[in-house]
Structure 1
Amino acid sequence: MADIRFAVEREKKEIKITPEILKELQAIQLEILIEFDRICNENHIDYSLDGGTLLGAVRHKGFIPWDDDIDIIMLRRDYEKFFKLYTSGLINEKFFLQEHRTDKFYMVGYPRIQRNNTIYRRAGHEHMKYHQGVFIDLFVLDNVPDSKFFRSLHRLLCFCCRKILWSKSGKKLAKNIVLRMWWTIVALIPAKFAFGLNNTLAHLANRRETVLVRHNTHPYPNPKVCGYGIPRVLLDSFTTLEFEGIKFKAVTEYDKYLTMLYGDYMKLPSRDKQVPHIHLSAFEGVKK
C-alpha cells in the first residue's frame, strides 16, 4: 500500500514532456553546447560528444528525436582547464558551471553546465537545494588502475561515492519503505566525504597514464558492457561530426565506441522506448 501511495504522489508531481517542451529544451541545450564548444576550441581543450548525443550525431545528424539531454566526455586534465577558465570569468555569464566547488548543495558526481534563468526540476528532486535549471552533462574521465586487485578496489570505492551522493534522492525516490529507510541512513554521510574520496581516487590514479579510464561517480559506460572502464586510446584522437547543422568534436573511433556501448547502434529501439527518459515536475525556458 505504501508503494502504491508513493507512486501516485510522484505521478501527481510530474508534467508531461510535450513535443513543444522537448523542442524548447533541446534548443536551450544546443545553445549551451555551442558556448561550451566555442570556449574549448579557443583554448585548445579536447572533448567528445558522448552517449545518446554521439549516437544522435551519427544516426540522426542531431538530437535523437525523443532525447532530452546532451552528454559530453572529457579527460580530467581538459576539464580542469575548462574549470579555470570558468572561475576566471571567461565564460558568458548566461551559463553556470555547476559542481561541488561552485554549488555547496550540489549532490551529483559529475559537472553540469546550466543555462541561467531556466527551471528544469526532476520529479522527486524538489527537496534538493541546488539550483535546477536546463543543463548539459560533463562526464569527466579519470584513470583506472592497471592492477587487477586495485581495479576491483577502485570500482568498489567509486560505487560507494556514487551511492552516498545519490542517497538524498534515494530516500525520496526508492520504490519501497525499506529502501527509503536505507537511503535515509546513508544520507547521514556528508557529501563532502564522497567528493573528497573521489578526488583522492582521481589524484592517485591520474599520476600516470593507464590503459582504461572511467567516470568515477556515474555507472556509465555500463560496467556489464565495458568492464572496468573504456580504453584510454579512444581519447587520443578526435574528429568532428555534424549535430543540428553544426560541427562538434567526437572521438575519431566513434564507431568502435558506439558499438561498445550499444551494439548495433544504427537500429532504432522499439516504439515504446522512443520517449524522453527524464521525469519532470517543473520546466520553464529562458526567462526574458
Structure 2
Amino acid sequence: MEFLIVTGMSGAGKSGAANVLEDMGYYCIDNIPPALIAKFSEICMQSKGKISKVAMVVDSRGGDLFGDLLESLDRLKERDNCYKILFLDCDDDVLITRYKETRRKHPLCEGAAVTLQEAIRRERELLQPAHQRANYIIDTTLLTAAQLRDKIYQIFLDGGSRMLINCMSFGFKYGLPSDADLVFDVRCLPNPFYIPELKEKTGRDRPVEDYVLSFEQSTTLLDKLKDLLGYLAPLYVEEGKSQLMVAIGCTGGKHRSVVFTEHLGAFLTEQGYRVVCNHRDILKTKK
C-alpha cells in the first residue's frame, strides 16, 4: 500500500493538492492528528485491496499535536509501511498576500495575540523537521492552481495521461447520462435488434460487432469519431480537465453503442490515456 503524507505551509496549496490526488485515485483524509496516522494505516491495510493509495494531510492546524508527526512516521517505518512526504512551500510575502485576499485566519493565530508574520515564522520552525524529511518539495510561490496540478501529476502519475476518460454506452430510451461531457448518437446506424439471431446478444458479442461494422456508414462514423476525440482529448488535458465522460447512445444501449464504446475506448487507450469503459444499460430489458 502506498502512503503519502501531505504537509507544508498553511496557504501553500495543500487542499488543492489533496483534491488533485483524490482525482488520481488516492483515498484522502484531511487534517488527521499525527498520532492517529499509524492506527489509520492499520485500518487501510485491512481493507482487503479496496484501498491501495492513501494521502493524509497533516499540518499546523493540529497545533501542539503536530509534534507527534515524526514519531508516527517512525512507527510506520518500523511496521514496514512505505511512505513518502510531499511538502508544499511558499514565500512569506506571497502567503501574507493570499491570507489578505481570502481574509482567512492563520491557524497559529487562533487564540493567540500574534501577527500574521509571526504566525508564519513559527509555522516554519514547527514544520522544519518535516521539510528536512520530505521526498518531494513543491514551491507554489509562482504557480497557478493549474500549474500545481501539473506538478503533482508529473510526480505521482506513472506515465500516460493525467486525464481519466470514461467511455459509456447508454440507451436513449432510459435517458441521457447527466454527467456526460460529450454525447454521440449512433441511432442512425443499422440496428441489430431487428436481426432475430442478434436481438438477444450484445455489442460485446462478436456477431453483433461484425454486423454493426459491416456497413460503410458505421466504419466511416467510427473513424470520424476517433479523429474528433484524438483532436479534442489533448485540448481537454491542456485545459486541466481531470476526467472526461464520453457517452455513446443508441436506442436501448445494448448493441450499436456498446460496439462503438469498446472501439473508441481501445483507440483512446492506444493514444496513452487512462480509459474506463462501462455500459450503463446493457443488461436492461427493452420494453
Q: Identify which of structures 1 and 2 has the higher relative contact order when contacts are C-alpha pairs closer than 8 Å and 6+ apart.
A: 1
Q: Which has the larger radius of gyration?
A: 2
Q: Does the TM-score normalized on the shorter chain lie above 0.5?
A: no
Q: TM-score, normalised by structure 2?
A: 0.21
Q: TM-score, normalised by structure 1?
A: 0.21
